[in-house]
Amino acid sequence: MIKKKILIIGATSTIAHECARELNNQFICHFTLVGRNRAELEKNKADLMIRSNRCSIDVGCVNFFDSSFLENIKNILKKSYDFYILAQGNLVEHGSLTIDTLSKSNQLNINSYANLIFIIYERLKKINRGHLILFGSVAGDRGKQSNFWYGASKSYVNTVFQGVEHDIGVNNRNINISIIKPGPTLTKMTIHLPNAHKFAKADEVAKEIVKQIKVKKRVIYVPRKWKWIMLIIKYLPQFIFDKLKI
């Protein structure tokens, strides 16, 4: 069985953990799990160790709201990995939004995310290998009245993905990059939302993500139907779009 070294930042994310489970099923893995909540990280570590006695796991707890966390990440990056998965973030809910909650969400979803992409990509350029995997969202494909603040943060990630991908191509680098764009998925972050029971199941979403990562797919819509749904939504004329409450 093939060995893989995997760094997951935002490792307490439901989808990220389900991806770790799936990777654990298919490879002999060394995981480095990074997140804000040590108890949750240790719980996820124990879950993965129970499922496979061949895996090894390091855990790192950081505060994404303190810029000093980047020094911790730089130390982690002294090792090289096959997959660098960036999954941290939170949902911006318009109904309870204040300037303080928006600023805090932007710090996590945009500022810290951008800093992480920057330092990881600089590292990948030096070693000229590795696969960087970003978590976007279908919400980032077009601004919608229901979630445009969250969608804007994911649009930012998508633009950075496009720029890094172009840089890789122009400079013929031996690096891969993918962006994952999940549709509504049942997770800890969404379970309280209306109709959450109709959302995609996180384990099924993770299986598709891992399948597509293995073949180095650039843009990964999960479930796959969202590729076609968002294609329609993106190109709807504004006068029609304005009639849809989505």
Kindly report, residue by residue over 8-25, the tens digit of the pLDDT. 999 999 999 999 999 999
pLDDT value of position 193: 86
Phi, psi of 182 (to 5 degrees): -75, 145
pLDDT value of position 67: 81
**Coil, strand or helix: which one is 183?**
coil
Q: C-alpha distances in angstroms, 74 versus 70, 122, 184?
A: 6, 11, 33
DSSP code at position 115:
H
**Coil, strand or helix: which one is 9?**
strand
pLDDT value of position 132: 98
pLDDT at 195 over 90: no
| Percentage of the chain lying above the pLDDT 70 cut | 100
Counting Cα atoms < 13 Å in the Cβ hemisphere of 130 gives 21
Instruction: Name the pLDDT band for 92 (thresholds 50, 70, 90).
Output: confident
What average pLDDT score do residues 138-165 get? 97
Q: What is the DSSP string of 15-66?
A: HHHHHHHHHHHHSEEEEEEEES-HHHHHHHHHHHHHH-TT-EEEEEE--TTS
Give the span between the Cα atoms of 52 and 56, in whole angstroms: 9
pLDDT at 145 over 90: yes
> Residue 244: CB partners within 8 Å, gap ≥ 6?
236
User: Which among 159, 205, 166, 207 has a CA at the least distance from the CA of 184?
Assistant: 205
Question: 8 - beta bridge partners?
Answer: 33, 85
pLDDT value of position 68: 86
Tell me which H or E stretch contains 216.
none
Q: What is the pTM of this model?
A: 0.96
pLDDT value of position 196: 86
Query: What average pLDDT is seen over the chain?
Result: 96
Q: Is the peptide bond before 223 cis (omega within 30 degrees of 0)?
A: yes
